[in-house]
Amino acid sequence: MVRLKLGMVGGGQGAFIGGVHRMAARLDGCYELVAGAFASDSLRAHVSAAELGVSVDRSYDNYSDMAKAESARPDGIDVVSIVTPNHLHGPIAEAFLAQNIHVICDKPMTATLAQAESLMAAAAVSDASFFLTHNYTAYPMIRQAQQMVTEGALGDIQIVEANYLQDWLSDVPKTDNKQAMWRTDPTQSGGGAIGDIGTHAYNLVCFVTGLRTKTLNATLHTHVAGRAVDDDARVTLHFHGGARGHIWASQVAVGNENNLTLAVYGTKGSIRWSQENPNNLWFSKLGAAPQMFTRGGGSSYPSAAAVTRIPAGHPEGYLEAFATLYREAAEVIIASGKTTQQSAVIGIEQGFEGVRFVDACQRSSKAHAAWVTL
């Protein structure tokens, strides 16, 4: 099997999501990490590189140098992972796309709508692909959910409900909590709960149902005194075709860890799924006993089986789903070197949709929950 050469921007010591990306890249053996600009602080960058087995000459001080130098090498990276705070996603992605290096970027795609538009333009003229890690879409039972909706098992979709509840920002965070600090700084994050987790919920809704938003209203609220971004967001969605949706994203809902749930109700049936027990998918057909589909079980759909690694009853989790995104990106890259038609893969269009969603929610909320279009 071909193993792609991978670089990384961000993800040095003390980071969280960088390590996740690295484990995801390793699990299926499709990538080898060979280069990086792991931190804005030069010392921390190089120490991190050494720890990660990246050679000194490919540990860079900044992403700009890295993009140019790797592009110039005959053995330069095929793809770069961007795992920095949100406001840097756009500029970094553009730098690598300009060198025709594929990009795998953490979400949300950018911190602002202007950045998103700029990145869209850059991607349009690049020979490389852009992948966004809305990782929850890669859980096997979410793939099955999408297939069930598409095949009509639920009838016409009427109601969609997605909640993403956390409690880790219930208090004023300590200043040494890097994750909390940049996420609650609007200049780095572009938004609070709505951007950090609301976009995941929205992406999941769109991915599974294929519905398109007609109008929405939103209330973004800040419960913790002094916080500069929202920590609790409610969004009501009216979709084209008449279906209704609701998203609740909160980072102050005490007792919740990463409680992302999705329910889709149609005229004939419904499905329910919870990220914290991702190997099960409940299906209720109107008038019949609810059934619990299990990942890998005899009742699995092909779409779930295709991204299942181990037998039923042996739980797969978050890292496996993340790794599936990495594997699917590798398959796209290896297949064509350039594509924008990526089946289940989340690409730049979905990323743009997510940034537009955040922007619309912020506009609605400022207007006291007025109805707005994306």
Residues 208-267 that bind a copy of itself (CB under 8 A): 217, 219, 221, 223, 232, 234, 236, 244, 246, 248, 250, 252-259, 263, 265-267
Contact 248, 163 (CB under 8 A): yes
Residues 6+ apart with CB under 8 A from 338: 127, 128, 129
Contacts of 321 (CB under 8 A, 6+ apart): 135, 136, 138, 139, 140, 278, 307
Distance in angstroms (rounded) separating the CA atoms of residues 53 and 269? 51
Q: Tell me which residues in 14-33 interact with a copy of itself (CB under 8 A).
A: 16, 19-20, 22-23, 26-29
Sequence-ordered alpha helix ranges (H) in 228-339:
302-305, 318-336
Structure tokens at 170: 């219930």
Phi, psi of 20 (to 5 degrees): -60, -45
Please name every residue paired with 346 in a beta bridge, in sequence order, or none if there are none: none
Measured from the CB atom, is 210 or 313 closer to a copy of itself? 313
Closest distance to a copy of itself from the beta carbon of 17 (Å)? 10
In the DSSP assignment, the letter for residue 57 is G
Taking residues 310 to 349 in sequence order and writing x for each that binds a copy of itself by CB under 8 A, - otherwise, the string is xxxxxxxxxxx-----------------------------
98, 180, 369, 374: which one contacts a copy of itself (CB under 8 A)? 369
DSSP state of 59: B
Interface residue with a copy of itself among 1, 56, 72, 125 (CB under 8 A) is: 1
Task: Report H helices in 102-231.
Answer: 113-124, 140-150, 178-183, 186-189, 193, 199-209
Identify residues 44-103 at the interface with a copy of itself (CB under 8 A): 51-53
Pick from 43, 292, 335, 367: which binds a copy of itself (CB under 8 A)? 292
Selected from 110, 112, 251, 294, the binder of a copy of itself by CB under 8 A is: 294
Q: Is 174 in the site for a copy of itself (CB under 8 A)?
A: no
Minimum CB–partner distance for residue 198 and a copy of itself (Å): 15
Contact call for residue 270 and a copy of itself (CB under 8 A): yes
Q: Three-state SS for 270? A: strand
**Residues in 107-166 at the binding interface with a copy of itself, rule: CB under 8 A:** 154, 158-159, 161, 166
